[in-house]
């Protein structure tokens, strides 16, 4: 059965907290085909990578209880303030109520951006990196940007209900791209409101 893997334990600016670097691999369902990807299958930038990482910040004392397989290393990181990276990844099972549970990283793709991610719009939006001086190409679904968020979840059968979006087009003009934020359809790096989710135009649209 698949399980996530713990790659490293890192200190944080808060001496009582640590950060776990966790890795997983996923299989994307093959029920649909992205035509854009198929038309560019010879371009390495379109090839999928099924490795996914997540960084989990936790109270050290709670992490020791819930990840006893790395309790010693967590305590070492707390005491030394130095990162500990495992030579061989450790199974990322979690212990709750004295029972071990399998953990997996769940991928959620959405056109909804978390407001605190707005300053990082150009890096948060899924894109095909430009090369040879060409601009990045941002992926679009239903004419909206695509964002990916990862969650560490318990999955005792090892199955994860990923949420993937198909993309149909790309754009190199980020300030002309739409997305959803604060339950409004907005556009560009300034997140100027265009309409509500029902498509009704907002009177005197303002900057979010």
Model confidence pLDDT, tens digit, residues 4-17: 999 999 999 999 99
SS3 73: helix
Contact assessment for residue 25 and residue 50, using Cβ atoms and an 8 Å cutoff:
yes
Q: Which of 7-16, 110-119, 150-159 has the lowest mean pLDDT?
A: 150-159
pLDDT for 45 beyond 60: no
Question: Is this model's pTM higher than 0.85 or not?
Answer: no
Please give the residue range of the domain that contains residue 148.
5-196
pLDDT computed for residue 200 by the predictor:
82
**Number of domains present in the structure of the chain:** 1
| Exposure b/e, 159-169, CB count within 10 A at least 16 = b | ebebebbbbee
Please give the pLDDT value at position 36. Answer: 60
Alpha-helical segments (H) within the chain: 35-39, 60-66, 71-80, 121-124
**Class of residue 129 by CB neighbours under 10 A (exposed 0-12, middle 13-18, buried 19+):** exposed
Residue 149's pLDDT is: 95
Mean pLDDT taken over the chain: 89
Give the percent of the chain with pLDDT over 90: 72
Under the banding of pLDDT at 50, 70 and 90, the label for residue 32 is very low
Average pLDDT estimate for 106-125: 96
| Mean pLDDT for the stretch of residues 161-187 | 93
Structural domain contains residue 25: yes
Query: Residue 44 pLDDT more than 50?
Result: yes
Question: Domain for residue 186, yes or no?
Answer: yes
pLDDT of residue 31: 46
**Residue 205: inside a domain:** no
Residue 201 inside a domain? The answer is no
Q: Does the residue 202 lie in any domain?
A: no
- Whether 207 maps to a domain, the answer reads no
* Longest distance between any two alpha carbons in the chain, whole Å: 58
> Would residue 38 count as lying in a domain?
yes
Q: Specify if 133 maps to a domain.
A: yes
Residues 6+ apart with CB under 8 A from 132: none
Distance of CA 15 to the CA centre of its chain: 26
């Amino acid at each position: 059965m698949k399980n996530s893997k713990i790659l490293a334990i890192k200190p944080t600016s808060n001496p009582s907290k640590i950060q776990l670097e966790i890795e997983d691999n996923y299989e994307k369902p093959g029920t649909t085909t992205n035509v854009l990807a198929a038309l560019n299958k010879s371009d390495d930038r379109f090839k999928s990578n099924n490795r996914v990482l997540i960084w989990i910040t936790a109270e050290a004392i709670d992490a020791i209880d819930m990840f006893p397989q790395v309790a010693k290393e967590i305590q070492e990181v707390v005491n030394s303030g130095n990162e500990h990276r495992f030579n061989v990844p450790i199974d990322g099972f979690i212990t709750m109520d004295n029972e071990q549970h399998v953990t997996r990283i769940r991928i959620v793709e959405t056109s909804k951006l978390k407001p605190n991610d707005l300053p990082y719009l150009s890096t948060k939006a899924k894109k095909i990196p430009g090369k040879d001086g060409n601009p990045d190409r941002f992926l679009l679904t239903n004419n909206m940007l695509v964002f990916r968020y990862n969650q560490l979840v318990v999955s005792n059968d090892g199955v994860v209900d990923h949420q993937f979006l198909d993309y149909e087009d790309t754009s190199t003009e980020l300030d002309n791209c739409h997305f959803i934020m604060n339950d409004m359809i907005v556009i560009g790096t300034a997140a100027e409101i265009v309409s509500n989710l029902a498509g009704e135009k907002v009177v005197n649209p303002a900057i979010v």
